[in-house]
Amino acid sequence: ARFNVAIVGATGAVGETLLSILAERDFPVADLVLLASARSAGEKVRYGSRELVVQDLETFDPAGIDVALFSAGGSVSKAYAPKFAAAGAVVIDNSSAFRGDADVPLVVSEVNPEAARVRPRGIIANPNCSTMQLMAVLAPIHRSVGIERINIATYQSVSGTGRRALEELGKQTAALLSFQEVESEVYPVQIAFNVIPHGGDFTENGYTTEEMKLVHETRKILGDDGIMVNATVARVPVFYGHSEAVHIETRAKITAAEARALLEQAPGVEVVDSRADGGYPTAVTHASGKDPVYVGRIREDISHPRGLDLWVVADNIRKGAALNAVQLAELVVAERA
Ligand code: A2P
């Protein structure tokens, strides 16, 4: 069987990767509809041998769409995802609009695929990119020995903010290298050659929304509200690939060797951990443009008897967004096969 697929936000950083991953994985597409705002309606995009014309979401009739992949921001999802679901589509939503809702499953394809089957509103939420790569690595450890607390610092690339942020990093870098003034529009301060301890918006408790997503989404995906999470999110001048320094305290002791053995078996995870120069994954050398979640620097925490340290890297646009969304779409169409 083939399915009618809509991509909402098709002209964005995630949208264009959705398109290429559907093609790469040979997803059984019948009709493919590309949707964006009126600003880019009429633009032409290649999909294999087809040429597709971007259509205006506002005037599009969703009747007949089987699977809709949304990646156009939370307000667009809130307004349009229910309409697509009401018209019979299964919506896979990459925004944070529905992630916290009890009747919307939040699914990492390798971690809790069974949750995707129960979707009373016809919506499945795709986790935040930072949570996604963290879960791929931590779920096997949690299932084996239990995780009590996660202390994480992220080093997030600009592509997670969208196409304009990619352009801002490029422009600022070029400007600085030619001794010109820089302007910041997307980020509150200069991102080129800098590190910004800020993702999303500030909340009442002093954490940012990107930090609190790691708390709430981790608990929901692992199905354990007792897990404590302390996060600091930083934006770094990297185009593609989020890195994470992860410190966990487990319920039962796990050695570095045991953790490594467990992660070597984990689906979607690749261990790069040779304890030598360059024997660890980085955003640029490993993750960018690739599917797996990479983990290295696996070691026992010398400051805690049940502590383990890890370094986790993945392409935030691929596994962190578009790839997982397509994997969820594959789960949905497999139900109908
Ligand atoms: P457009 O190109 O028309 O602005 P990114 O995350 O890279 O910034 O991409 C955001 C995506 O969401 C783009 O495809 C953008 O389309 C789309 N988008 C943003 N606002 C709307 C809207 N109000 N209606 C439909 N699509 C939207």
Q: Is the ipTM of this structure higher than 0.90?
A: yes
**What's residue 116's pLDDT?**
98
Residue 286 designated active-site: no
Contacts of 321 (CB under 8 A, 6+ apart): 14, 17, 71, 94, 126, 129, 132
DSSP string, 52-98: EE-EEGGG---TT-SEEEE-S-HHHHHHHHHHHHHTTPEEEE-SSSS
Q: 121 among the known binding-site residues?
A: no
Question: Same domain for 198 and 215?
Answer: yes
Instruction: Give the C-alpha separation, 67 to 87, whole Å.
Output: 11
SS3 state of residue 247: strand
Question: Same domain for 60 and 119?
Answer: yes
Per-residue pLDDT tens listing for the chain (337 residues): 999 999 999 999 999 999 999 999 999 999 999 999 999 999 999 998 889 999 999 999 999 999 999 999 999 999 999 999 999 999 999 999 999 999 999 999 999 999 999 999 999 999 999 999 999 999 999 999 999 999 999 999 999 999 999 999 999 999 999 999 999 999 999 999 999 999 999 999 999 999 999 999 999 999 999 999 999 999 999 999 999 999 999 999 999 999 999 999 999 999 999 999 999 999 999 999 999 999 999 999 999 999 999 999 999 999 999 999 999 999 999 998 7
* Residue whose CB lies within 8 A of the most ligand 1 atoms, among 7, 8, 11, for a mutation test: 11
Question: Same domain for 77 and 169?
Answer: no
Q: Would you say the CB of residue 45 lies under 6 angstroms from ligand 1?
A: no
- Domain holding 231, by residue range, is 131-316
**What's residue 88's pLDDT?**
98
Question: Same domain for 325 and 207?
Answer: no
Ligand 1 atom closest to 72 (CA): 12
Question: Same domain for 150 and 166?
Answer: yes
Distance 52 CA to ligand 1 centre (A): 17
Question: Same domain for 196 and 312?
Answer: yes
**What's residue 48's pLDDT?**
84
Q: Would you say the CB of residue 73 lies under 6 angstroms from ligand 1?
A: yes
Residue of 129, 142, 247, 286 marked active site: 129
Tell me the whole-structure pTM to 2 decimals.
0.97
Distance 73 CA to ligand 1 centre (A): 7
Question: Same domain for 92 and 217?
Answer: no
Question: Same domain for 196 and 304?
Answer: yes
Q: Would you say the CB of residue 56 lies under 6 angstroms from ligand 1?
A: no
With beta carbons less than 8 A apart as the criterion, state whether 45 and 34 touch.
yes
Question: Same domain for 300 and 331?
Answer: no
Domain count, the chain: 2
Question: Same domain for 135 and 106?
Answer: no
**What's residue 63's pLDDT?**
98
**What's residue 233's pLDDT?**
98
**What's residue 183's pLDDT?**
94
**What's residue 49's pLDDT?**
86
Question: Same domain for 282 and 156?
Answer: yes
Question: For the domain that residue 29 is a member of, what is the CATH number?
Answer: 3.40.50.720
**What's residue 228's pLDDT?**
98
| Alpha carbon nearest to ligand 1 atom 9, residue | 12
Question: For the domain that residue 200 is a member of, what is the CATH number?
Answer: 3.30.360.10
Sequence letter at residue 330:
E
* Residue whose CB lies within 8 A of the most ligand 1 atoms, among 76, 78, 186, for a mutation test: 76
Question: Same domain for 135 and 252?
Answer: yes
